[in-house]
Amino acid sequence: MGKPTGFMEYQRETSAEVKPRQRIKNFNEFHEHLSREKQQLQGARCMECGVPFCQSGMTLCGMTSGCPLHNLVPEWNDLVYTGNWEQAYYRLKKTNNFPEFTSRVCPALCEAACTCGLNGEPVATKENEYAIVENAYEKGYAAPKPPRARTGKKVAVVGSGPSGLAAADQLNKRGHLVTVYERSDRVGGLLMYGIPNMKLEKRIVERKIKVMEEEGVTFLTGVDVGKDIKASQLLKEYDRVVLACGASNPRDIKAEGRDAKGIYFAVDFLKANTKSLLDSGLTDGAYIDTKDKHVVIIGGGDTGNDCVGTAMRHGCKSVTQIEMMPKAPERRAENNPWPEWPKVLKTDYGQEEAIAVFGHDPRIYESTVKEFIKDKSGNLKAVKIVKLQWEKDPETGRMNMKEVPGSESVLEADVVLIAAGFLGSQKYVTDAFQVELNERTNVKTEPGRYRTSVDNVFVTGDMHRGQSLVVWAIREGREAARDVDESLMGYTNLSVQ
């Protein structure tokens, strides 16, 4: 696969980025990608290793190593190197319904597990994937391909995030008649309103939705199943229903002063910003504006970073990101060997932008908010934070985080954004379908399966496994589609890997 000596002959090269101070002037994607010729040399670096960990998707020490979709990485890296772009696209699409999304927003689990990365730089697999799929759209390989025959079976998919879309795409390819219900005004779920435009331009989502529509999938927006339409009606009209509503309950911060004006959940902040951007280019004012304001973000991870990047584009006066966990090391620790996911410090695009503008990293580690401080009108004016430290519980032996006495400090804050994760499926949906839940309020199924406790109702994605990555959502959608197809037809020929 690739060129046997390519990893020694060619250095890793990835796309250039627009400088931070320049890119914060708009909400556009900011990568300047390599030419096709240079990208082929990156394919040559795939080293024909005996065991391709990049496509393993296995769990090591509670973390995923390699691609959960089991993408045929060495195969299409080799096809990139030899310039066989069309065949590379077909091999890529064999396991991944949406490489146009994953090549932009996936954290590249494949690269973290790449054998080249053991003693050097990993293969630029994510950017090879980007080049493959964008070339396919340019050359027409990604054009709509409707199924040749229909089964007459009808399936409703509730939710149009990556998992719901993957399930719909697979079931439609099988020949079933698929209708996707989306409560928002645009299709895409997390892809449309949860991920900012500078990471995934919405024309990319709309491009793929148009292809799916031309292949026969029906999309109904502005329909909130469980409120606008009863579960019983769907079960009457369709042979099967797939719930793909995500983990939509944001985790709150219970601290004194929580009722202050100016505190928002990150998901609401990001959604309002993207909707206003798409509706009016932000001229309608229908978003949470952080221009000239002191912004405090509670929570790390991708969502916290996306809030930093969005606030920077608004022109905030300052931005601070509060993280409970300790600062990760810059290099792998001895107890975190390859091919485990590397638990090392990651400075993402939003943090890079804050550093460029304000001169320092916006993150404060091992801290949490103890109090939201209000003015006389009830508006937020500051937050009191406290340092945390790990302590072992003498009875259980578990490590818990405790406040450090006397470590309180106060940060000026006009806006607080809570990016502390999500706590499972929304109750009105699960109540509407009367599906059984597990202890984490996710919809319960047998291990490795997607059929719920209610006849003809299936579940997939974050609603099933909890908050996770886009690649896991796509895999869940593919596997759920396989279960649904088997229940409809008595057998299935839908591939998962």
What are the tens digits of pLDDT across the range 292-332?
999 999 998 899 999 999 999 999 999 999 999 999 999 99
| CA 101, chain centre distance (Å) | 9
The C-alpha angle with vertex 471 and arms to 469 and 474, in degrees rounded to 5, equals 115
Q: What is the 3-state secondary structure (H, E, C) of 407-475?
A: CCEEEECCEEEECCCECCCCHHHHHHHCCCECCCCCECCCCCCCECCCCCEEECCHHHHCCCCHHHHHH
Fold category of 263-418 in CATH? FAD/NAD(P)-binding domain (3.50.50)
pLDDT of residue 394: 85
State the fold for domain 6-139.
Answer: Fumarate Reductase Iron-sulfur Protein; Chain B, domain 2 (1.10.1060)
- The predicted-structure confidence for 98-148, as pLDDT tens digits, reads as follows 999 999 999 999 999 999 998 899 999 999 999 999 999 999 999 999 999
Residues 468-493 have pLDDT tens digits of: 999 999 999 999 999 999 999 999 99
Containing 294, the helix (H) or strand (E) segment is strand 294-298
Residues 6+ apart with CB under 8 A from 194: 161, 267, 270, 271, 303
The pLDDT value given to residue 26: 98
The answer to whether 6-139 and 263-418 have equal CATH topology is no
Place of tokens 């009830």: 378
For 110, the token pair is: 């494949």
Q: What are phi and psi of 489, to 5 degrees?
A: -105, -15
Fold topology of 154-248+423-489: FAD/NAD(P)-binding domain (3.50.50)
Give pLDDT, residue 49: 87
Report yes or no: 327 and 345 within 8 Å, Cβ to Cβ.
Answer: yes
SS3 for 92?
A: helix
**Cα Rg, the chain, nearest whole Å:** 23
| The CA-based dihedral angle spanning residues 304, 305, 311, 315, taken in that order and rounded to the nearest 10 degrees | 150
Q: Beta strand pairing status for 457-459 and 240-243?
A: parallel
Which SS3 state, helix, strand or coil, does residue 238 take? coil
pLDDT tier, 393 (very low <50, low <70, confident <90, very high otherwise): confident
For residue 2, pLDDT over 80 is answered with no
Alpha-carbon span 309 to 291, nearest angstrom: 13
The whole-angstrom separation of Cα 71 and Cα 126 is 11
Helix, strand, coil abundance in the chain, percent, nearest 5: 35, 20, 45
284-298: b or e for each residue (b if 16 or more CB lie within 10 Å)? eeebbbbeebbbbbb
State pLDDT tens for residues 5-49. Answer: 999 999 999 999 999 999 999 999 999 999 999 999 999 999 878
Residue 1 is predicted with a pLDDT of 62
Q: According to the model, what pLDDT value does residue 4 have?
A: 85
Helix axes 85-93, 125-139, angle to 10 degrees: 110
Kindly report, residue by residue over 137-170, the tens digit of the pLDDT.
999 999 999 999 999 999 999 999 999 999 999 9
Structure confidence by residue, pLDDT tens digits, 395-413: 888 888 899 999 999 999 9
With contact defined as beta carbons under 8 Å apart, do 312 and 354 qualify? Answer: yes
Pairing of the two strands 240-243 and 263-265? unpaired
Locate the domains of the chain by residue range.
6-139, 154-248+423-489, 263-418
Query: 107: number of CA atoms within 13 Å, CB side?
Result: 18
- pLDDT at residue number 48: 76
User: Which tens digits make up the pLDDT trace of 331-365?
Assistant: 999 999 999 999 999 999 999 999 999 999 999 99
Q: What angle do CA 351, 108, 363 make, to 5 degrees?
A: 20
Q: What percent of the chain has pLDDT over 90?
A: 92
